[in-house]
Amino acid sequence: MSEPAPDPASETACTLLFPGQGTEAVGMSRGWEAHGPWTDALEAAEARTGHPLRRAMAEGPLDLLRAQRLAPCAVLAHSVGIFRARRAAGMPLPVAAAGHSMGFYSALVAAGVVPLEATLDLISAVEDLSETAFGEGTMGMAFLIGVPELDVRRTLAGHPELVLSNRNGQAQFTVSGPLPALEALVRELGPSALKVGLLPVKHPLHGPHMAALLPAITRRLGAVKPADPAFPLISHFDGRLLTTGAAAWDEGLASVALPVDWLAVVARLRALGAPLAECGHGRQLAGLTRWAARDLAVASLQEPPQP
């Protein structure tokens, strides 16, 4: 068994990985309240959204923290706050950064492409337009672990209303689409899967169902003027490097309709050759990266730096 990766926050320039929704947990803010840059990020997010992010993160209940509109804002603000606190404590600028799903929004803010408020507005736009387009309880996502990709694709051929939305590893996927079809897929693949189930997401993210919303999303965010990133960002769609503000922000606007290919991201991480560190709560991306390439270690920045 390999040794755990060291904390690279003091001297080594890393490639940072920003996790997405699903990493929220009661207690995730513990120790960060004493760090001004983290507190400033959370105060700004609360002022923009009206959500009690710090209270939900510190005290729960978990149902509040995982609420459809609160959870992504909490994950985003927490990751951005960690990045800024770590930078203030001496962490060098990263070599590059990637984000998984809405974790790409955290990367956009960390790189200085857009303000935190712009990505919070983007989350709000996606939620508003999705609720109007799909209605309550009609759409969602399912996860499949331990099923070969060929078997997943063969099964999806019998469910044309569903799409493969995430390739997270060699045998770890998510599927998006109408809820009844997702439930049928879960029943069908359940006996052969290591783990399978519905995700606590109410929209068919990272698939063509969301494509019709992109013009309205773009209009809602039309006043945002992106800046070139302070470091390259990695597309979670195909692993290419995004080095201009326009390219990075376009990717952010379109990301809800673009499938996630973490295998392509991992190929880019390997090519860059820098140490890897997860900038957020938990070990979501350490786990996904290990599914894709067992020799790549990912350090965690979830614990506050020492004074």
pLDDT score at 306: 77
For residue 233, pLDDT over 90 is answered with yes
pLDDT, tens only, 262-284:
999 999 999 999 999 999 999 99
Q: What is the mean pLDDT of residues 231-256?
A: 98
- The sign of the dihedral angle between the CA atoms of 127, 129, 134, 136 is positive
Q: What is the mean pLDDT of residues 18-43?
A: 96
- The sign of the dihedral angle between the CA atoms of 64, 70, 75, 81 is negative
Q: How confident is the model at residue 10 (pLDDT cuts 50, 70, 90)?
A: low
Q: Which tokens hold the place of 222? A: 């039309």
- The Cα–Cα gap between 64 and 283 comes to 22
Planar angle of CA 105, 31, 75, nearest 5 degrees: 20
For residue 1, pLDDT over 80 is answered with no
For residue 4, pLDDT over 70 is answered with no
Reduced to 3 states (helix: H, G, I; strand: E, B; else coil), residue 303 is: coil
- Sheet containing 163-169: give its strands across: 195-198, 139-145, 172-178, 163-169, 260-261
Contacts of 273 (CB under 8 A, 6+ apart): none
Which comes out higher in pLDDT, residue 122 or 4?
A: 122
Q: Which tokens hold the place of 148? A: 């070969």
pLDDT score at 123: 97
For residue 105, pLDDT over 50 is answered with yes
Which amino acid, residue 46? E
- The Cα–Cα gap between 51 and 75 comes to 13
- The Cα–Cα gap between 185 and 192 comes to 12
Percentage of residues in the chain having pLDDT higher than 70? 96
DSSP code, position 211: G
Where are the strands (E) in the chain, listed by range? 15-18, 96-99, 139-145, 163-169, 172-178, 195-198, 233-234, 241-242, 260-261, 276-278, 298-300
pLDDT score at 170: 84
> Among 68, 71, 89, 67, which Cα is nearest to 28's?
71
Q: How confident is the model at residue 22 (pLDDT cuts 50, 70, 90)?
A: confident
pLDDT, tens only, 179-222:
999 999 999 999 999 999 999 889 999 999 999 999 999 999 99
Q: How confident is the model at residue 9 (pLDDT cuts 50, 70, 90)?
A: low
For residue 298, pLDDT over 50 is answered with yes
pLDDT, tens only, 140-184:
999 999 999 999 999 999 999 999 999 998 899 999 999 999 999
Average pLDDT, the chain: 94
pLDDT, tens only, 126-139:
999 999 999 888 99
pLDDT score at 291: 81
